[in-house]
Structure 1
Amino acid sequence: MSRVAKIRGTHREHPHAHGGSRRPRRLAGVVTRIRDAALALAGLAGLAAIAWGIATLFFGFSLVTFATGSMAPTIPTGSLALVREVPASELQVGQVVTLQRGGERLPITHRIIGIEPDPNVPTGRIVSMQGDANTIPDLFPYHVKTGKVILGSVAGGQAVSDAIGSPITLVAVTLAAGALVLWAFWPRTQTSRTTEPQRGERRHARSTRIRQTSSRHSARHGLRRTAHGGGHRARLGPGIRRSHPAG
Protein backbone atom coordinates (compact mmCIF):
# COMPACT_ATOMS: atom_id res chain seq x y z
CA MET A 1 0.00 0.00 0.00
CA SER A 2 1.39 3.40 -0.98
CA ARG A 3 2.07 6.14 1.51
CA VAL A 4 -0.64 8.30 -0.09
CA ALA A 5 -3.23 5.59 0.52
CA LYS A 6 -2.05 5.30 4.12
CA ILE A 7 -2.37 9.03 4.67
CA ARG A 8 -5.82 9.15 3.15
CA GLY A 9 -6.90 6.06 5.07
CA THR A 10 -5.95 7.56 8.42
CA HIS A 11 -8.35 10.50 7.97
CA ARG A 12 -11.60 9.60 9.73
CA GLU A 13 -14.25 11.82 11.20
CA HIS A 14 -15.53 11.15 14.66
CA PRO A 15 -19.16 9.97 14.52
CA HIS A 16 -20.17 12.69 17.00
CA ALA A 17 -18.11 15.45 15.44
CA HIS A 18 -21.15 17.30 14.19
CA GLY A 19 -23.65 16.27 16.84
CA GLY A 20 -23.51 19.71 18.40
CA SER A 21 -24.68 21.39 15.21
CA ARG A 22 -27.65 19.02 14.79
CA ARG A 23 -29.32 19.98 18.05
CA PRO A 24 -29.62 23.70 17.22
CA ARG A 25 -31.07 22.78 13.83
CA ARG A 26 -33.61 20.44 15.44
CA LEU A 27 -34.53 23.07 18.02
CA ALA A 28 -34.92 25.67 15.28
CA GLY A 29 -37.16 23.25 13.37
CA VAL A 30 -39.38 22.70 16.42
CA VAL A 31 -39.64 26.44 17.04
CA THR A 32 -40.54 27.01 13.39
CA ARG A 33 -43.28 24.37 13.51
CA ILE A 34 -44.71 25.87 16.70
CA ARG A 35 -44.71 29.32 15.15
CA ASP A 36 -46.38 28.06 11.98
CA ALA A 37 -49.05 26.25 14.01
CA ALA A 38 -49.71 29.35 16.10
CA LEU A 39 -50.00 31.48 12.99
CA ALA A 40 -52.37 28.94 11.44
CA LEU A 41 -54.56 28.97 14.55
CA ALA A 42 -54.53 32.75 14.62
CA GLY A 43 -55.51 32.79 10.95
CA LEU A 44 -58.38 30.38 11.57
CA ALA A 45 -59.54 32.48 14.53
CA GLY A 46 -59.44 35.58 12.34
CA LEU A 47 -61.45 33.86 9.62
CA ALA A 48 -63.98 32.67 12.20
CA ALA A 49 -64.33 36.20 13.55
CA ILE A 50 -64.87 37.57 10.05
CA ALA A 51 -67.44 34.86 9.27
CA TRP A 52 -69.28 35.57 12.53
CA GLY A 53 -69.32 39.29 11.79
CA ILE A 54 -70.83 38.62 8.36
CA ALA A 55 -73.41 36.25 9.90
CA THR A 56 -74.52 38.80 12.49
CA LEU A 57 -74.53 41.74 10.10
CA PHE A 58 -76.25 40.23 7.07
CA PHE A 59 -78.11 37.14 8.33
CA GLY A 60 -79.39 38.22 11.75
CA PHE A 61 -77.51 35.70 13.91
CA SER A 62 -76.61 36.52 17.52
CA LEU A 63 -76.09 34.94 20.94
CA VAL A 64 -78.29 35.18 24.04
CA THR A 65 -77.68 33.98 27.59
CA PHE A 66 -80.16 32.66 30.15
CA ALA A 67 -79.95 34.24 33.59
CA THR A 68 -83.02 32.43 34.99
CA GLY A 69 -84.38 28.90 34.92
CA SER A 70 -87.81 29.68 33.46
CA MET A 71 -87.03 27.46 30.44
CA ALA A 72 -85.61 24.55 32.46
CA PRO A 73 -85.08 21.70 31.91
CA THR A 74 -85.03 22.43 28.16
CA ILE A 75 -82.64 25.35 28.58
CA PRO A 76 -81.13 25.54 32.09
CA THR A 77 -79.76 28.61 33.81
CA GLY A 78 -76.39 29.77 32.50
CA SER A 79 -76.92 28.43 28.99
CA LEU A 80 -75.77 30.15 25.81
CA ALA A 81 -78.07 30.02 22.78
CA LEU A 82 -77.68 30.80 19.11
CA VAL A 83 -80.61 32.79 17.72
CA ARG A 84 -81.66 34.24 14.40
CA GLU A 85 -83.90 37.23 13.94
CA VAL A 86 -86.87 36.65 11.62
CA PRO A 87 -90.00 38.64 10.70
CA ALA A 88 -92.98 38.20 13.01
CA SER A 89 -94.92 36.62 10.16
CA GLU A 90 -92.55 33.61 10.30
CA LEU A 91 -93.10 32.90 14.00
CA GLN A 92 -94.93 29.69 14.89
CA VAL A 93 -96.61 28.25 17.96
CA GLY A 94 -94.27 25.95 19.89
CA GLN A 95 -91.09 27.82 19.01
CA VAL A 96 -88.79 29.11 21.74
CA VAL A 97 -88.14 32.75 20.89
CA THR A 98 -86.60 35.85 22.40
CA LEU A 99 -88.94 38.84 22.28
CA GLN A 100 -88.50 42.41 23.44
CA ARG A 101 -91.60 43.97 24.94
CA GLY A 102 -91.85 47.72 24.62
CA GLY A 103 -90.89 49.53 27.80
CA GLU A 104 -88.95 46.59 29.28
CA ARG A 105 -85.17 46.67 29.56
CA LEU A 106 -84.44 42.96 29.07
CA PRO A 107 -85.83 40.60 26.44
CA ILE A 108 -87.77 37.49 27.44
CA THR A 109 -87.08 34.02 26.08
CA HIS A 110 -90.09 31.70 26.39
CA ARG A 111 -92.11 29.29 24.28
CA ILE A 112 -94.88 30.62 22.01
CA ILE A 113 -98.36 29.42 23.02
CA GLY A 114 -100.42 31.71 20.79
CA ILE A 115 -100.10 34.11 17.83
CA GLU A 116 -102.62 36.68 16.56
CA PRO A 117 -102.37 39.35 13.85
CA ASP A 118 -101.81 42.90 15.08
CA PRO A 119 -104.70 45.07 13.82
CA ASN A 120 -102.63 48.22 14.16
CA VAL A 121 -99.48 46.95 12.41
CA PRO A 122 -99.93 44.91 9.19
CA THR A 123 -96.52 43.20 9.55
CA GLY A 124 -96.81 42.78 13.33
CA ARG A 125 -98.05 39.97 15.53
CA ILE A 126 -99.47 39.67 19.04
CA VAL A 127 -97.61 36.79 20.68
CA SER A 128 -98.45 34.98 23.93
CA MET A 129 -95.65 33.03 25.66
CA GLN A 130 -94.97 30.85 28.68
CA GLY A 131 -91.81 29.44 30.20
CA ASP A 132 -91.48 25.65 30.36
CA ALA A 133 -90.81 25.85 34.10
CA ASN A 134 -93.68 28.31 34.74
CA THR A 135 -97.21 27.24 35.67
CA ILE A 136 -98.95 30.25 34.11
CA PRO A 137 -98.44 32.23 30.89
CA ASP A 138 -96.72 35.60 30.83
CA LEU A 139 -99.00 38.33 32.16
CA PHE A 140 -99.07 40.43 29.02
CA PRO A 141 -98.79 39.57 25.32
CA TYR A 142 -95.96 40.83 23.11
CA HIS A 143 -96.60 43.20 20.19
CA VAL A 144 -93.66 42.57 17.89
CA LYS A 145 -92.55 42.97 14.29
CA THR A 146 -89.62 40.59 14.59
CA GLY A 147 -88.51 37.79 16.87
CA LYS A 148 -85.32 35.85 17.56
CA VAL A 149 -85.83 32.11 17.16
CA ILE A 150 -83.66 29.81 19.27
CA LEU A 151 -81.65 27.53 16.95
CA GLY A 152 -79.66 25.72 19.64
CA SER A 153 -78.22 26.13 23.11
CA VAL A 154 -75.22 25.00 25.16
CA ALA A 155 -75.53 24.45 28.90
CA GLY A 156 -72.93 26.45 30.82
CA GLY A 157 -72.01 28.50 27.77
CA GLN A 158 -72.70 31.77 29.57
CA ALA A 159 -69.55 31.40 31.68
CA VAL A 160 -67.43 30.96 28.54
CA SER A 161 -69.12 33.94 26.89
CA ASP A 162 -68.55 36.13 29.94
CA ALA A 163 -64.89 35.07 30.15
CA ILE A 164 -64.28 35.84 26.47
CA GLY A 165 -65.98 39.20 26.72
CA SER A 166 -64.20 40.32 29.90
CA PRO A 167 -61.71 43.22 29.65
CA ILE A 168 -58.88 41.06 31.02
CA THR A 169 -59.39 38.49 28.26
CA LEU A 170 -59.55 41.16 25.58
CA VAL A 171 -56.29 42.73 26.79
CA ALA A 172 -54.59 39.32 27.00
CA VAL A 173 -55.74 38.35 23.50
CA THR A 174 -54.55 41.67 22.10
CA LEU A 175 -51.12 41.31 23.69
CA ALA A 176 -50.83 37.68 22.57
CA ALA A 177 -51.78 38.59 19.01
CA GLY A 178 -49.23 41.41 18.96
CA ALA A 179 -46.50 39.14 20.32
CA LEU A 180 -47.35 36.47 17.75
CA VAL A 181 -47.13 38.95 14.88
CA LEU A 182 -43.81 40.30 16.22
CA TRP A 183 -42.46 36.76 16.57
CA ALA A 184 -43.58 35.84 13.05
CA PHE A 185 -41.82 38.79 11.42
CA TRP A 186 -38.74 38.85 13.66
CA PRO A 187 -35.54 38.39 11.59
CA ARG A 188 -34.49 34.75 11.54
CA THR A 189 -30.96 33.65 12.37
CA GLN A 190 -28.92 32.05 9.64
CA THR A 191 -27.11 29.56 11.88
CA SER A 192 -28.46 26.46 10.22
CA ARG A 193 -27.71 27.81 6.76
CA THR A 194 -24.16 28.93 7.47
CA THR A 195 -23.13 25.80 9.34
CA GLU A 196 -22.97 23.61 6.24
CA PRO A 197 -20.73 25.95 4.18
CA GLN A 198 -18.34 26.33 7.11
CA ARG A 199 -18.25 22.57 7.58
CA GLY A 200 -17.59 22.11 3.85
CA GLU A 201 -14.78 24.64 3.97
CA ARG A 202 -13.14 22.77 6.86
CA ARG A 203 -13.38 19.50 4.97
CA HIS A 204 -11.92 21.12 1.85
CA ALA A 205 -9.03 22.56 3.88
CA ARG A 206 -8.25 19.15 5.39
CA SER A 207 -8.34 17.51 1.96
CA THR A 208 -6.03 20.20 0.60
CA ARG A 209 -3.53 19.67 3.43
CA ILE A 210 -3.60 15.92 2.83
CA ARG A 211 -2.96 16.37 -0.89
CA GLN A 212 -0.13 18.81 -0.22
CA THR A 213 1.46 16.39 2.27
CA SER A 214 1.11 13.55 -0.22
CA SER A 215 2.65 15.65 -2.98
CA ARG A 216 5.65 16.61 -0.84
CA HIS A 217 6.14 13.01 0.19
CA SER A 218 5.96 11.83 -3.42
CA ALA A 219 8.43 14.53 -4.48
CA ARG A 220 10.94 13.50 -1.80
CA HIS A 221 10.54 9.84 -2.68
CA GLY A 222 11.09 10.60 -6.36
CA LEU A 223 14.23 12.61 -5.65
CA ARG A 224 15.71 9.78 -3.62
CA ARG A 225 15.01 7.31 -6.39
CA THR A 226 16.59 9.65 -8.96
CA ALA A 227 19.69 10.09 -6.86
CA HIS A 228 19.95 6.35 -6.32
CA GLY A 229 19.42 5.65 -9.99
CA GLY A 230 22.07 8.22 -10.97
CA GLY A 231 24.60 6.34 -8.89
CA HIS A 232 23.97 3.19 -10.92
CA ARG A 233 24.30 5.10 -14.15
CA ALA A 234 27.63 6.46 -12.96
CA ARG A 235 29.05 2.96 -12.82
CA LEU A 236 30.59 2.27 -16.23
CA GLY A 237 31.72 -0.98 -17.61
CA PRO A 238 35.37 -2.15 -17.44
CA GLY A 239 37.75 -0.55 -19.88
CA ILE A 240 35.47 2.43 -20.43
CA ARG A 241 36.76 5.67 -19.09
CA ARG A 242 34.55 8.50 -18.09
CA SER A 243 35.06 11.40 -20.38
CA HIS A 244 35.37 14.88 -19.00
CA PRO A 245 34.71 18.01 -20.94
CA ALA A 246 37.79 19.79 -22.08
CA GLY A 247 38.88 22.91 -20.51
Structure 2
Amino acid sequence: MMVALEPVETRRRTAGNRGRLADVVRETLLNVAAIGGAICILLTLAAVFFHVTLIMFKTGLMSPGIPAGSLAVVQEVPASEVRIGDVVTVDRPAQLPVTHRVTSARMVSGTTAVLTLKGDANPVEDPAPYTVSKVRTVLYSVPGIAYIVAGASSPWVLGGTTIAVSLLVTWALWPRPEEASRARPEAGA
Protein backbone atom coordinates (compact mmCIF):
# COMPACT_ATOMS: atom_id res chain seq x y z
CA MET A 1 0.00 0.00 0.00
CA MET A 2 1.38 3.31 -1.05
CA VAL A 3 0.57 6.54 0.77
CA ALA A 4 0.84 9.81 -1.14
CA LEU A 5 2.54 12.43 0.93
CA GLU A 6 1.46 16.00 0.55
CA PRO A 7 4.36 18.41 0.25
CA VAL A 8 4.96 20.42 3.42
CA GLU A 9 4.73 23.72 1.52
CA THR A 10 1.23 22.87 0.24
CA ARG A 11 0.04 22.05 3.76
CA ARG A 12 1.45 25.32 5.07
CA ARG A 13 -0.20 27.31 2.28
CA THR A 14 -3.59 25.64 2.91
CA ALA A 15 -3.34 26.23 6.66
CA GLY A 16 -2.31 29.83 6.00
CA ASN A 17 -5.32 30.43 3.72
CA ARG A 18 -7.68 28.98 6.33
CA GLY A 19 -6.09 31.20 8.97
CA ARG A 20 -6.52 34.31 6.80
CA LEU A 21 -10.15 33.39 6.09
CA ALA A 22 -10.82 32.91 9.81
CA ASP A 23 -9.21 36.31 10.48
CA VAL A 24 -11.44 37.98 7.85
CA VAL A 25 -14.56 36.30 9.27
CA ARG A 26 -13.59 37.24 12.82
CA GLU A 27 -12.89 40.87 11.92
CA THR A 28 -16.10 41.16 9.89
CA LEU A 29 -18.26 39.76 12.71
CA LEU A 30 -16.58 41.99 15.28
CA ASN A 31 -17.10 45.05 13.06
CA VAL A 32 -20.79 44.21 12.60
CA ALA A 33 -21.17 43.77 16.37
CA ALA A 34 -19.34 47.07 16.99
CA ILE A 35 -21.60 48.91 14.53
CA GLY A 36 -24.67 47.40 16.21
CA GLY A 37 -23.36 48.48 19.60
CA ALA A 38 -22.65 52.01 18.34
CA ILE A 39 -26.19 52.27 16.96
CA CYS A 40 -27.60 51.18 20.34
CA ILE A 41 -25.48 53.80 22.12
CA LEU A 42 -26.57 56.54 19.70
CA LEU A 43 -30.24 55.61 20.09
CA THR A 44 -29.89 55.68 23.86
CA LEU A 45 -28.21 59.11 23.75
CA ALA A 46 -30.94 60.42 21.42
CA ALA A 47 -33.60 59.16 23.83
CA VAL A 48 -31.93 60.77 26.85
CA PHE A 49 -30.80 64.11 25.41
CA PHE A 50 -33.34 64.75 22.63
CA HIS A 51 -36.37 62.86 24.04
CA VAL A 52 -36.55 60.71 20.90
CA THR A 53 -38.14 57.26 21.22
CA LEU A 54 -39.84 54.63 19.09
CA ILE A 55 -43.50 53.65 18.97
CA MET A 56 -45.18 50.76 17.17
CA PHE A 57 -48.50 51.01 15.38
CA LYS A 58 -50.65 47.97 16.13
CA THR A 59 -53.81 49.24 14.43
CA GLY A 60 -54.49 50.76 11.04
CA LEU A 61 -56.22 53.88 12.39
CA MET A 62 -53.55 56.10 10.79
CA SER A 63 -53.67 54.31 7.41
CA PRO A 64 -52.80 54.82 4.65
CA GLY A 65 -50.02 57.21 5.78
CA ILE A 66 -48.93 55.06 8.71
CA PRO A 67 -50.27 51.50 8.30
CA ALA A 68 -50.49 48.87 11.04
CA GLY A 69 -47.08 47.34 11.73
CA SER A 70 -45.20 50.61 11.23
CA LEU A 71 -42.44 51.76 13.55
CA ALA A 72 -42.29 55.51 14.16
CA VAL A 73 -39.62 57.78 15.59
CA VAL A 74 -41.24 60.29 17.94
CA GLN A 75 -39.90 63.27 19.85
CA GLU A 76 -41.39 64.74 23.01
CA VAL A 77 -42.24 68.42 22.61
CA PRO A 78 -44.23 70.99 24.62
CA ALA A 79 -47.91 71.24 23.67
CA SER A 80 -47.32 74.85 22.61
CA GLU A 81 -45.32 73.59 19.60
CA VAL A 82 -48.14 71.41 18.23
CA ARG A 83 -49.78 72.54 14.97
CA ILE A 84 -52.92 71.38 13.18
CA GLY A 85 -51.99 68.48 10.90
CA ASP A 86 -49.20 67.15 13.15
CA VAL A 87 -49.37 63.47 14.06
CA VAL A 88 -48.91 63.23 17.82
CA THR A 89 -48.90 60.60 20.55
CA VAL A 90 -50.89 61.55 23.64
CA ASP A 91 -50.63 59.66 26.92
CA ARG A 92 -53.96 58.73 28.51
CA PRO A 93 -54.38 57.84 32.20
CA ALA A 94 -54.90 54.09 32.77
CA GLN A 95 -54.95 53.43 29.00
CA LEU A 96 -52.52 52.96 26.17
CA PRO A 97 -51.35 56.15 24.44
CA VAL A 98 -53.14 57.22 21.26
CA THR A 99 -51.40 58.45 18.10
CA HIS A 100 -53.62 60.50 15.80
CA ARG A 101 -53.55 63.67 13.71
CA VAL A 102 -54.29 67.05 15.35
CA THR A 103 -57.49 68.60 13.94
CA SER A 104 -57.66 71.53 16.39
CA ALA A 105 -55.41 72.96 19.08
CA ARG A 106 -56.24 75.60 21.67
CA MET A 107 -53.85 76.87 24.34
CA VAL A 108 -55.57 77.15 27.74
CA SER A 109 -52.48 78.30 29.68
CA GLY A 110 -48.83 78.97 28.98
CA THR A 111 -47.99 75.26 28.92
CA THR A 112 -51.31 73.43 28.54
CA ALA A 113 -53.27 72.85 25.34
CA VAL A 114 -56.56 71.17 24.48
CA LEU A 115 -56.13 69.02 21.36
CA THR A 116 -58.76 67.39 19.21
CA LEU A 117 -57.40 64.35 17.37
CA LYS A 118 -58.57 62.06 14.58
CA GLY A 119 -57.13 58.89 13.11
CA ASP A 120 -56.66 59.24 9.34
CA ALA A 121 -58.74 56.08 8.78
CA ASN A 122 -61.49 57.17 11.19
CA PRO A 123 -64.60 58.90 9.83
CA VAL A 124 -64.95 61.13 12.93
CA GLU A 125 -62.73 62.83 15.49
CA ASP A 126 -61.90 61.13 18.80
CA PRO A 127 -64.86 61.38 21.24
CA ALA A 128 -63.19 63.74 23.72
CA PRO A 129 -60.42 66.32 23.44
CA TYR A 130 -57.10 65.77 25.22
CA THR A 131 -55.71 68.29 27.70
CA VAL A 132 -51.92 68.01 27.59
CA SER A 133 -48.76 69.92 28.43
CA LYS A 134 -46.48 67.75 26.29
CA VAL A 135 -46.91 65.30 23.41
CA ARG A 136 -44.69 63.17 21.21
CA THR A 137 -44.69 64.23 17.57
CA VAL A 138 -44.06 61.65 14.85
CA LEU A 139 -40.88 62.57 12.98
CA TYR A 140 -41.08 59.69 10.49
CA SER A 141 -42.27 56.11 10.24
CA VAL A 142 -41.22 52.90 8.50
CA PRO A 143 -44.01 50.49 7.47
CA GLY A 144 -43.77 46.82 8.46
CA ILE A 145 -40.71 47.03 10.68
CA ALA A 146 -42.65 47.01 13.99
CA TYR A 147 -43.18 43.25 13.64
CA ILE A 148 -39.42 42.71 13.41
CA VAL A 149 -38.75 44.91 16.45
CA ALA A 150 -41.50 43.18 18.44
CA GLY A 151 -40.05 39.78 17.52
CA ALA A 152 -36.53 40.90 18.40
CA SER A 153 -37.67 42.00 21.86
CA SER A 154 -38.74 38.45 22.74
CA PRO A 155 -36.84 37.08 25.76
CA TRP A 156 -35.71 34.10 23.67
CA VAL A 157 -34.27 36.34 20.94
CA LEU A 158 -32.62 38.68 23.46
CA GLY A 159 -31.14 35.73 25.38
CA GLY A 160 -29.94 34.07 22.17
CA THR A 161 -28.38 37.32 20.96
CA THR A 162 -26.59 37.77 24.29
CA ILE A 163 -25.18 34.24 24.14
CA ALA A 164 -24.18 34.63 20.47
CA VAL A 165 -22.37 37.93 21.08
CA SER A 166 -20.64 36.46 24.17
CA LEU A 167 -19.44 33.49 22.11
CA LEU A 168 -18.28 35.80 19.31
CA VAL A 169 -16.23 37.96 21.67
CA THR A 170 -14.76 34.88 23.38
CA TRP A 171 -13.86 33.34 20.00
CA ALA A 172 -12.38 36.61 18.72
CA LEU A 173 -10.24 37.24 21.78
CA TRP A 174 -9.21 33.64 22.52
CA PRO A 175 -5.44 33.19 22.02
CA ARG A 176 -4.54 31.35 18.81
CA PRO A 177 -1.77 28.71 18.75
CA GLU A 178 0.27 30.76 16.27
CA GLU A 179 -0.14 33.86 18.45
CA ALA A 180 0.96 31.93 21.55
CA SER A 181 4.08 30.66 19.81
CA ARG A 182 4.95 34.19 18.65
CA ALA A 183 4.52 35.48 22.21
CA ARG A 184 6.99 32.90 23.61
CA PRO A 185 10.68 33.72 23.13
CA GLU A 186 12.68 31.14 21.16
CA ALA A 187 14.78 28.76 23.20
CA GLY A 188 18.44 29.69 23.18
CA ALA A 189 17.83 33.19 21.86
TM over 0.5: yes
- In the alignment, which residue of structure 1 is the partner of 2:152? 164
Tell me how far apart the structure 1 counterparts of residues 86 and 11 of structure 2 sit (CA, whole Å): 68
Asked if 1:79 is matched to 2:61, the reply is no
User: Residues 157-236 of structure 1 correspond to what in structure 2 (within 5 A)?
Assistant: 157-190=145-178
* Matching of residue 113 in structure 1 with residue 111 in structure 2: no
Q: Deviations over 1:58-84 (max 9, x none)?
A: 101111111111111111111111111
1:66 aligns with 2:57: yes
Equivalent position amino acid for 1:113 in 2:
T
Matches of 1:36 and 1:65 in 2, distance apart? 34
Residue 158 of structure 1 deviates from its aligned partner by: 1.4
Residue 138 (structure 1) aligns with = 126
Q: CA deviation at 1:157?
A: 1.3
| 2:102 counterpart letter in structure 1 | I
Aligned equivalents of 2:68, 2:106: Cα separation in 1: 30
Q: Which amino acid aligns with 1:174?
A: T
1:90 matches 2:81: yes
| Other structure's SS at 1:84 match | strand
User: Whose Rg is larger?
Assistant: 1
- Give, in whole Å, the separation in 2 of the partners of 1:50 and 1:72: 32
Identical positions, percent: 36
Structure 1 residues not aligned, in runs of 5+: 1-15, 195-247
* Residue 190 of structure 1, CA deviation: 1.5
1:17 CA displacement = 5.1
Rounded Cα–Cα distance in structure 2 between residues aligned with 1:142 and 1:118 = 12
Higher strand share: 2
Give me the TM-score of the superposition, normalised by structure 2: 0.88
Structure 2 unaligned spans of 5+? 1-6, 183-189
Corresponding residue of 1:34: 25
Write out per-residue CA displacement over residues 23-62 of structure 1, whole angstroms, 9 at most, x where no aligned residue.
0010000001100111111111111111111000110111
